[in-house]
Each structure stands twice: as structure tokens, then as C-alpha cells.
Chains A and B, each alone.
Chain A
Amino acid sequence: MGPFNVLAYIIRRLIGAVLMLLLVSLVTFGIFFWMPKLAGQTTDQIAASYVGKAPTAEAIAATKERLHLDQPVVLQYGHYLKGIVAGQDFKAGPEVDHCPAPCLGYSFRTSQPVLPQLIDRAPATLSLAAGAALLWLVSGVTIGVLSALRRGSFLDRAAMVIALGGVSLPIYFTGLLSLAIFSYNLKIFPGGGSYRPFSEDPLHWFESLVLPWVTLAFLYAAMYARLTRAGMLETLGEDYIRTARAKGLPEKTVITKHALRSSLTPILTVFGLDLGLLLGGAVLTENTFSIPGLGQLAIAAINGGDLPVVLGVTLLAATFVVLLNLVVDVLYAAIDPRVRLG
């Protein structure tokens, strides 16, 4: 396949991705803006949620107008899309604030534009997800391969028991336990809420993320170890592996070049999905370790009924999933020569 074909394939997928995101925005908008009305809520009741503790009729009316809640849902969606392509104005008080395109609206709770909030939170989530992903991929696949090669041994059994524990224990338990032990008693790592951006202090950034990385990776590595082990065991039983060995290929070559390469394809698929979802917000890990990422923003928005922020996070998460799936599909071709893009 020539590079032109690959480019055409990527462009086709990107156009599909845009349509998919449009659909996601429509569905999400409908769920959060239209469903409450279907459930019988009036616009006054919806607006009253954003007025604070003293929802006077006057305040509710002003809020309805300011947040465009007095308009039909279709018009509100149109207003939202218009903001993405042409920007949006927002009356913040003495002056009108302009949010340039692509504008994802203003928070109903904080009156801040949504996109800068997403951009502000993304590095923390990216730091967490990328570090943890590297850890779990390397450790999970390594343990899985070793377990498969030494099937039934103590190492295999111990690894699978630990893997079972990793899958079973929730992050808010392992996270808080690791903080209590390694931060507050042994004082090896900084405690919760200690995250600092890489740009401010790289060393502190690293130290503050070690526990979250390990905790998050523990969960995923367990799954990947089991997945790799199962894939490797299946592949090692294939005829072409027996043939490779019969040809006298070194065992290292058989394992890495033939068995592992073939086993990696399904792992790569899952990895793309997992990483994409995590980049949209590692909700539990961020909340356990008080990391100000997209997951924490999403939870706060959902709890506060902050619809534009919920919509923004959803769109961003969907974007990550779509893009990573595209990357995975392209990588298939590199890993497995039998796969052709088209």
C-alpha cells in the first residue's frame, strides 16, 4: 500500500470522525437539555438550579435569558453549533465577554468559557493516562508473556492471583491505602492534592504522579497480563509456531517475532480504547488523588448540572476515542503484515 492510499484512508476516517462527533453532540445535548423537559421540568425549574440559594422570580427570569434557557431546545442547539464555528458572546457584567471560535459555550455554574477549562485540565489527565499506560502496557504484557511461557509454575499462579486482585480492588481503595502507607506514614511520596504541572516543576510533577500511575497501572496491568497470557497460550499452540521451532529458529525469535507479534493485535485494540477513555478523564483516580484533570471536571459538572461542561468533556472524550481508534487501525498494518488499510 502506498503512502497516498494511507493518507486517503486517514482523511476518510477523519471525515467520519467529524460526523460521529456531531452525532455525539446531538445525542448528549438531547440527553441533558431535552430530556429534563420531557420529564416535566419547566424552564423556570431548570433555571432555578443555577440561581443559588435565593431563587426569586426576577433572578430566575434573568438567568433564563442569560443562559438562553428560554429558547426552544432546537434553537439552543443551533446556538451551540454556531458558537463552535463563529464564537459566542456572553454578558459577564459591565462588559460583554467574547469567546472566539471554536467556542464550546460557557459554564452554567462558573460562567467561564468551557474550552479553556478543557485545555487547562487536559495536561493533568494526559500526564496521568500516558504514564500509567506505559507502565501497565510494559508490565502487563511482560507478566502475561512470562506467565504463558511458564504455564502452571509458581510465577504464573502468583502473577494471575495478583492480577485477579488488581482487577477486583477498586482504585478508591488501593489509592487511599497507598496514600496512607507511602505518603502519610512512610513519607516516601507526596500526598493527595500535590500534583503540579510539568511546566512548573518537572521533578515534583514526577513525584506526585508515581502513586497515581502505579495505582492506575495496577488495575490495567492485571487485565493486560491476563489478556496477554491467554493470547500467547493460544498462539503458542498454533502450527506455525511449531513449524518455526522445527526450522530451528532461536526460541527468542519464535517468541518475540512470531508469537508475541500475533498476540499483540487484540491487545492493541483494547489499549486504544482504554487509553482513549482514560484521556477523556480518569475519573476515579483523579478524584482519589485530587488531580485536577478532565475526570474531576466531569464529575463536578455532572454533580452541579453544568450542562455545557458535561457536553464539552463528552465531546473531548469522544474525540480521543475516535482518534486513538484511528491510530490503532493504522498501527495494525505495521504490526501485522496481513492487515491492509482500505
Chain B
Amino acid sequence: MNKIRPLAVLAAGVVVSAGLAACGGGDDGGSGSGPGYNSAIDKIVNTSDKKGGTLRLADSDDFDSPDPGNTYYAWSQNFARLYGRGLTTFKPAAGKDSLQVVPDLATGLGTPSDGGKTWTYKLRTGVQYDDGTTVTSKDVKYAVERSNFSDELQLGPKYFKQYLIDNPTPYKGPYKDKSPEGLKSIETPDDNTIVFKLKQAFSEFDYLVGMSQTIPVPQAKDTGLKYESAIVSSGPYKVDSYQRGKVMTLSRNTHWRQDTDPIRKALPDKIELQLKQNADDIDNRLLSGALDMDVTGVGVQAGTQAKVLNADQKPYVDNPYQGFLRFMSLNVNVKPLDNVHCRTAVQYATDKVAAQSAYGGPLAGGDVATTVLPPSVDGYRKFDLYPQKYQSAGGVDQATLDKAKQELAACGKPQGFTTKISARSDRPKEVAMAQAIQQGLAKVGIKVDIVQFPAGDYFNKYVGAPKYVHDHGIGMMLMAWAADWPTGYGFLSQITDGRAIKPSGGNNLAELNEKSINDAFDAAISNTDKAARTKAYGDIDEAIMKQAVEVPLIYAKALLYRPKNVTNAGITLGYGGMYDYLNMGVTK
């Protein structure tokens, strides 16, 4: 016995330490009473104007590119505002207020003319880059040209290219077209004015110019794909270094002036963003106080969820909507789903609660959905055209299943039918969701075979290619969608406007092409009355649901953790339900 005593002591020590580790929450972590669970969802918490310190951020991956003209990630757009100022941006606020677009580099929102086809912005005077030179409207024009028209910068959205009038000879971008006027539909009559001329009326142009692609880039400093390593800053911070896969560090831009920037507080002295960090270790560091924020804003890992819901940690947790809808598209060109009654039967018989459980439950997965527009998007209206009831023991109740059977009879398939459902093979939760749906539909005789495709090719090669879908009889397709800008048009047009159907790489998987809906999109986006647009989006959502082509499954949610060291933490819906980084600070 004496021989093993030291070992026993060592083992006990390790077990106790491991127990401590499992509980998380070191001295500097988030244990104790905090602002409260979900408190940052609709208000900024831990408000402070205290300057100084280093804001320590981490990401389990990397930017697509930190170049504001070559990025699409929501968190990257959120973060880029620390070193760049676009014409407009989302108001630094929490909840619904964060959906509001406010002027940033511009003095005000755009002035529309020509029925909403021309938009004019005036730039603030005195805004300087970190090298001390003055920002001009020509730099904004150049930034839009390089990001939307060059062959090299392909990672960001191309909405300006889509909506701006092209030159008589198609414009090839500033790297090929060296003419001084560049894209003629962007005019810069003076250094403080910029005018955009569009092909069609577009009432939400203020949202488009809020994307990071209007962050100015001086032509003389542009190095194309290498610009990400030498970004010129127009925001309160300059980029000291960016080492791909390692770290990005920011420090104060001494040429930034508070009097030119009414929306930023610029609190920390330094910001350090560590890249390619172990995801589980990021959570441990957040809980121990060694890190201030997981910058991607997609929530803690599965293994950490139980820890952060402990009584000690829960006051530092938020469970916001992430702007995503997880849903199932029913293809109108795959029999028998070309019949609305068969689609309606699927609406009633789909076990959404089982799908929710498969995706992580109400906290990590999200709320059961009944509309295509999620609650975090402007235009959302609560309704349910296919109400379901569930048995206490689980599963859709018999009365709801009977409605599904009635619809199957009306479709001419009283015994049900056979089709395929697709999911991404490298997303186990999505596959589990397909399995849950498969089991639910079997109760009314709808036999579904699951087909799996890799995420990288899902849209380009498989479900986004109508011919493949038709040839292989894939009637149901699982996908998730978030808007590039949080309005009904931004969310719905790419997935339900018939003109968004493409030979491959499309997102309108249902191939819905209803003239009345297409026309409603055109009418809404040309309407300058915001309230009328908001109502129209709710109407379009309802019209889509009447076609029964999309089965909404989950309004995605995530568990986000905000350590107590962080000040001014608030959930911005403008960037899809993550913390707003614009005015974030630290207590030490």
C-alpha cells in the first residue's frame, strides 16, 4: 500500500485539477453575477467609455480576406469597420435598433433621384488615412471598381456590378481599364461627392453602400491581391500586421479624428486577433478570462454548451437569432412535388421538432420556424399557414397527420409517394435533420431516400444545378440561408425570385418562378417608402408559403459568451446576430 500512496496522491491531484478545469471559470473568467442571460440581445451591456487596454480576439479559422474589397464573411464586414469607413454602416446598437443604417464616411444617407435610380452621397471633410492623406470620393469610386469589376478580387459580393449601369464597352475593372473615367456610372463631381447611377430603381442602396466595399482605397496604394497585407486605414485603427493563419494586430490610427466620426468610441489601445486557433481551446480561454471574444460569433462548441449554461456562467451568455433560416426546398419541377397538394402534405407531415432536436435543440439549434423570413430580418411577420400540433411523447399529432393525408389524396397520391432528400455529407447535423424528417414523413407514406453531397460542391454541382436535380429526382433539399443585408429583399430575392434560377450555383432550389412574386419584388425594391416595403416583404413571404415550396425548419440561434472583461457588448442583427465590434472595449 505504501508503494502506491504517492501515485494515489498524484492521481487525486490530477482529478481535482481536471474537475476544476471542467467547471471552467478561472478567477478572471465570467463567474459570478453578470448583466444577465440574454441581456445583450436588445441592449448594450457593461457600457463604458473607458479607453485603453488590449482587446483580445480569436478565430478558429481565418478571414476569407481582410481586404475590405475582397471579403464576404459577416464577421469580417463587422470587424473591417475598425480600420475602414464605408459610406454607411449599421447603427452600433443591440437588437432591432442595430438594423438601422446610419451614415459613416458620408454625412447623411443617400439622396435618391431619378425615381430611385440615382443615389448621391456627400463625404465628411477632414477624414484621413493612417498616412495622413485625405480621403476623397475618388477613393470610394476606386474601391467599388476594384472590388466588383476586377478578375483578381473574387471573394466579395458583386451587387454593385449587378445594379450599376455598365459602360458602353463592358468595364473590365481598374487593373485592365486604365482610362481616367473608369466606370462612368459612378461620378465624382468633387472630392466630397459621389453619385451612383443604377440600371433600375433600388430603394435599399443605403444597405449596399454599407458593405465594406465602399471603404476607400487610394489607387496609388492598391496592390491587388497583396493589398490585404498592406491595408490603408481610414478608421480609428491601423493594421500593424496581418499574418495569414496567425495573427492580425491593430493599433490607433493617429490621423483618425473623433469629430469626423460620431458613431465610434475607439476604446482599446490595441486589438489583437489570433487566427487559426483551436475551437475548443478558444472556449476554454473565454471562460478563464484569457480571451475577450470569439470573433466569428457562431457560438460556443458543443462541449462547452453545458458549461456556459451553469448558473455561474449563464449571466454572461446570450442566445440570439443568427439571421439564418434552416429550411427544406421542395422542387416544383420534380414529380409529384410539382403538385401544390403534395407539397402541402409535406408541410404538415414534416416533424420540425425532431429536426430542431437533430440540429442541437432550441438553444444551440434554434426556434421552430413557420415563415421564410426569420424574426431578425426587416419585414418579418409572424404567421403559420400550416399549423401543426405535436404529441407530448414526440412526433406530429394524428390530427395534423390526417391533414397531410387529405392533401396527399387531393394530390392523387393517397398512399404517399417516393422522393429523395439531399443534405451536406460533411455537416452531420444536417444529415441528422434529414433522417429526422425522413422518419416523420414515413408516417403518412412519403418515403424519402437521403442523398448526401459534399458542402463544397453542394450548390455548384448538385442541388444548385436544376438539370442534376431533375435527372436524379431530388424533390427535397436541405439548406440554410442568411441575407447579405437584413431586409426582406436581401433575404428572399436570391432564394425565391424566379430570375435567380441559374444553370449551376443557384440558391433558388425550389425553382419557384411565379410572375406575381417576381413582380412583387420589383415593386417593393423600387418603393422608397420603407414602411410600405416592410409590409410588402411580409406579403411576399406569405405568398411564397402559399406555394408551399419552402418548409421552414429552424430560425437559427447560437450560444454566445461575453466575458466580463468586455465592455459595450450588444448583439447586432445587421451582421447576423453576433456582437458588434465597433465600440467594444475592455475593463483592463
Contacts and interface: CB of A to CB of B under 8 A. Distances in A.
A255 B175 CA distance: 72
A50 B225 CA distance: 14
A180 B157 CA distance: 40
Contacts, number: 150
Nearest to B222: A94
8 contacts: A66-B151, A92-B223, A95-B224, A176-B281, A289-B281, A290-B281, A300-B276, A305-B456
B20 interface: yes
Nearest to A290: B277
Interface of B: 3, 7, 14, 17-18, 20-22, 26, 58, 62, 64-65, 72, 146, 150-158, 174-175, 222-227, 243-246, 274, 276-278, 280-282, 284-285, 287-288, 290, 456-457, 460-461, 504-505
Q: Which 9 A-B pairs have the closest CB atoms?
A: A93-B224, A180-B21, A62-B151, A184-B288, A52-B155, A192-B281, A111-B225, A92-B225, A181-B17
Measured as residues with beta carbon below 8 angstroms from the partner, the interface class of chain A is: 35 or more
Contact of B14 (A117, A181, A297): A181
Interface stretch (A41-49, A259-267, A324-332): A41-49
Given A289-B278, A292-B276, A184 B154 contact: no
Interface string A175-212: 01101110111110001110000000000000000000
A25 interface: no
Given A54-B72, A184-B285, A49 B278 contact: no
A154 B3 contact: yes
Contacts of B158: 54, 56, 59
Interface in A196-235: none
Interface in A73-127: 91-95, 97, 110-112, 117, 120
Given A62-B151, A191-B290, A289-B278, A186 B17 contact: yes
A287 interface: yes
Interface of A: 41, 44-45, 48-56, 59, 62-63, 65-66, 91-95, 97, 110-112, 117, 120, 154, 158, 176-177, 179-181, 183-187, 191-193, 287-290, 292, 296-297, 300, 305
A207 B290 CA distance: 16
B460 A185 contact: no
Contacts of A180: 18, 21-22, 284
Contacts of B14: 181
A158 B20 CA distance: 27
B506 to A, nearest CB: 10
Nearest to B22: A180
Contacts of B146: 93
Contacts of B157: 53-54
A138 B505 CA distance: 56
A183 B17 CA distance: 11
Given A45-B461, A192-B285, A292-B246, A93 B152 contact: yes
A55 B460 contact: yes
A276 to B, nearest CB: 23
A290 B225 CA distance: 26
B4 to A, nearest CB: 9
A288 B278 contact: yes
Given A93-B175, A94-B224, A300-B245, A181 B21 contact: yes
Given A180-B21, A300-B62, A92 B151 contact: no
Contact of B284 (A92, A176, A292, A296): A176
A67 B157 CA distance: 21
B21 A191 contact: no
